[in-house]
Amino acid sequence: MDIDDVKARAGPREFSPSDDLPLEYREAATRMLEFHANSEVMGGYLDKEFTRMAPSLDRKLACTAKCQDEIGHAQLLYRAAETLGVKTREEMLADLTNGDGKFLNCFHYPVDSWYEAPMIDFFVDGAAMRRQATLKDTSWEPYAHAMDKVCFEEGFHVKHGEDILRELMTSSKANQERTQEVFEDWWPRMLQFFGPTNDESTHNDFAQQVGLKTVSNDELRNSFLNMYMPKAEKYGLEIPESPRIFERDDGTMAVREDDLDWDEFWTIAKNDFEGSHEQIGSRRRRQEAVEWVRESMTDWETAGADSPQAAD
Amino acid sequence: MAQPAPGDLSPVEAQLLRLADDEYVLAERYTEWQIFAPTPEADLALANIAQDEFGHARLWYDLLQDEFGYEEPDLLWERDPGNFVHSPLVELETPDGDWADTVVRSYLYDVAERLRLDALADSSFDPIADRVRKVQSEEGYHREHAQSWLDRLTGGGGDAHRRVQSAVDRLFPYALTLFAPTANEDEIVAAGVRTRALADVRADWLDEVVPYLESLDVVVPDPSAVSHPDEVGRDGSHTGDWAALHEEFTATYHELGFDDPATLRSENA
């Protein structure tokens, strides 16, 4: 198939590993899947903090389950990426550790309090759900298939995140104020989650033409605003005055993009933000600390042990 | 309701509290590996095990609530750290990146756990016996996981084998505290809450773990020559690692000051 054939055929779950696809398509799909898988891993670096903090045993179980799900999603997505034959999982994980791998902007900001739990588990995950739901119709079948499982489990996470927010916003005045403060920090990051509208340039345009993406950044952000602004307000959060939000003629919501800090966004996109260094550095240190295990497994395999079954 | 304190409990309460505290504290240590394990598969396995252990802890804490009227804050969030009765084996901090330490601890614990559950399967206290089977099925998987890793870590020799040896040297004396009696030991056996004495369970444990570890060319300390650590856990005495962990996992609870810890049974049961 050449690229024109791909564009002509592009549709939901249209292409699978049995198709002979041009490198350009396979590279674009790999880029999306790798980004998505990396984001599951780096989201886990934030979420694991909440496990230790969880203020009830049931919440702790839910936080533990969520971390487990995220690792499972990463595993599934790396596998779907590998089916494209462009990059191995080891290469993708190595790139993530050495700072070349890219991941969602929101996961470049370290967290240090429970007030941040609903920001990640409700709003950021809710934003991710908006995007992931549309990826069930992506043209790379293994990706769409992974989304079926991911979306199902994310539904539980978002529900738990919403319950954490409800609990905070119906508790003491001090807790409500802290939650509002933290929300104000996170709100612009959430709006940048979808990227700038005018970035329908390089990757996105192509990704839409070949059916990898089915919905634009702008539409996804509208959908997020329409769904999550009322929810934020329902729990008593006030939407910050800046960035300005306005209603378009068709009744959908939009944001004045000039009000957002795009320098920070693009610095993050280069993994060069202060928080990027912190989060990627944490990943690197943790991976180096267990490098000896991976080396010993290689030794064990080359030693030709007689029972090569996986421990996992 | 007052919080449970060792030395002031009925035999059933004393038995339940040991079970619950061991599982809870071990799970806290397991979750420290979330996202930090050597491979995604190892990560997934350990996250799964942590989840199981928290689940078992909840099962035993639930019984303490249902049968003895305690509430979750009495049992976890507001209990004095000196009133927890877990073995210090499960509270010890893991040296940085020391996967061997976690695998060895898991193995030593999981064998003891199986033997303990066997001794509770015919408990005279029906609610314990009823729950043992569910826990047993999951613990079997934990033990296989630990053994599979031990086989691999020791199979290639070199650095990994040395790390396993050093973890056994460090952890074995603490593992013996799993069998340290509480004040109620005689009553627990007399009332049939547990059908075997801890000394017998300990003997079975030694018969299993010592030959297995030796088959991996790991030297096991002579149990009769091991001087127990001063902290045996069952009487509320703990290492410094426990104070730090307890402070960490209760800090947010105290900061938030909610009326009650949230329960999510409909979603999570």
Helix (H, G, I), strand (E, B) or coil at A137: coil
Give me the residue from A55, A56, A71 closest to B43, CB to CB. A71
Let me know: does B51 contact A68? Beta carbons within 8 Å. yes
* B194-206 as b/e: b if 16+ CB within 10 A: bbbbbeebbebbe
pLDDT tens digit sequence for A248-304: 888 888 899 899 999 999 999 999 999 999 999 999 999 999 999 998 988 777 776
Q: Is residue A110 in a domain? A: yes
Q: Is residue A257 in a domain? A: yes
Residue A308 has pLDDT above 50, yes or no: no
Residues of B numbered 185-204 whose beta carbons fall under 8 angstroms of chain A's beta carbons: which are they?
Answer: none
Give me the residue from B51, B72, B259 closest to A64, CB to CB. B51
- Residue B138: predicted pLDDT: 85
In angstroms, what CA-CA distances link A245 with A186, A227, A229, A240, A254?
15, 14, 10, 9, 6
Residue B164 has pLDDT above 90, yes or no: yes
Which residues of A fall within a CB distance of 8 Å from B97?
A: 286, 288-290, 292
State the angle between helix axes of B11-31 and B40-68 in degrees (0 to 180), rounded to the nearest 10: 160
- Residue B267: predicted pLDDT: 46
- Residue A252: predicted pLDDT: 85
Q: Is residue A260 in a domain? A: yes
pLDDT tens digit sequence for B87-140: 999 999 999 999 999 999 999 999 999 999 999 999 999 999 999 988 998 888
pLDDT tens digit sequence for A125-163: 999 999 999 999 999 999 999 999 999 999 999 999 999
- Residue A250: predicted pLDDT: 86
Q: CB distance A299–B157 less than 8 Å? A: yes
Q: Is residue A309 in a domain? A: no
| Paired tokens of B126 | 């029906």
Residue B208's closest CA among B133, B116, B141? B116
- Residue A42: predicted pLDDT: 97
Position A310 confidence tier, pLDDT thresholds 50, 70, 90: very low
Find the closest chain A residue to B75 by CA distance.
A57
pLDDT (mean) for A21-44: 97
Let me know: does A56 contact B262? Beta carbons within 8 Å. yes
Mean of pLDDT over chain B: 94
Type of residue numbered A130: R
Residue B111's closest CA among B222, B227, B212? B212
CA A161 to chain centre: 15
Give me the residue from A55, A292, A294 closest to B261, CB to CB. A55
Q: What is the DSSP letter of A117?
A: H
Q: Under 8 Å CB-to-CB from A279, ≥6 apart: which residues?
A: A42, A45, A107, A108, A110
CB of B52 within 8 Å of a chain A CB? The answer is no
Q: Is residue A149 in a domain? A: yes
- Residue A302: predicted pLDDT: 75
pLDDT (mean) for B75-98: 97
Kindly provide the ipTM of the predicted complex, given to two decimals: 0.94
Using DSSP, how many helices (H) and how many strands (E) does chain A show?
13, 2
Which residues of B fall within a CB distance of 8 Å from A288?
A: 97
Q: Is residue A311 in a domain? A: no
Query: How are the residues of chain B apportioned to helix, strand and coil, as percentages rounded to the nearest 5?
Result: 70, 0, 30
Whose tokens are 């429970």? That residue is A114
| Paired tokens of B44 | 């997934």
Helix (H, G, I), strand (E, B) or coil at A231: helix
Residue B186 has pLDDT above 80, yes or no: yes
Find the closest chain A residue to B59 by CA distance.
A57
pLDDT (mean) for B253-261: 95
Q: Is residue A308 in a domain? A: no
Q: CB distance A55–B263 less than 8 Å? A: no
* B107-125 as b/e: b if 16+ CB within 10 A: bbbbbbbbbbbbbbeebeb
Q: How close, in Å, is residue B100 to chain A by CA atoms? A: 9
Q: Is residue A268 in a domain? A: yes
Q: Under 8 Å CB-to-CB from B36, ≥6 apart: which residues?
A: A48, A286, A289, A290, B43
Task: Please give the Cα distance from A120 to A279 (Å, whole number).
Answer: 15
pLDDT tens digit sequence for B206-217: 999 999 999 999
Domain count, chain A: 1
Residue B266 has pLDDT above 60, yes or no: no
Find the closest chain B residue to A65 by CA distance.
B51
Q: Under 8 Å CB-to-CB from B265, ≥6 apart: which residues?
A: A58
Domain of residue A161: give its range: 3-291
In chain B the domains, ranked by start, together with CATH numbers, are: 11-268 (1.20.1260.10)
| Paired tokens of A94 | 């190595």
Q: A269: domain CATH number?
A: 1.20.1260.10
Helix (H, G, I), strand (E, B) or coil at A253: strand
Mean of pLDDT over chain A: 93
| Paired tokens of B6 | 């060792």
pLDDT tens digit sequence for B18-52: 999 999 999 999 999 999 999 999 999 999 999 99
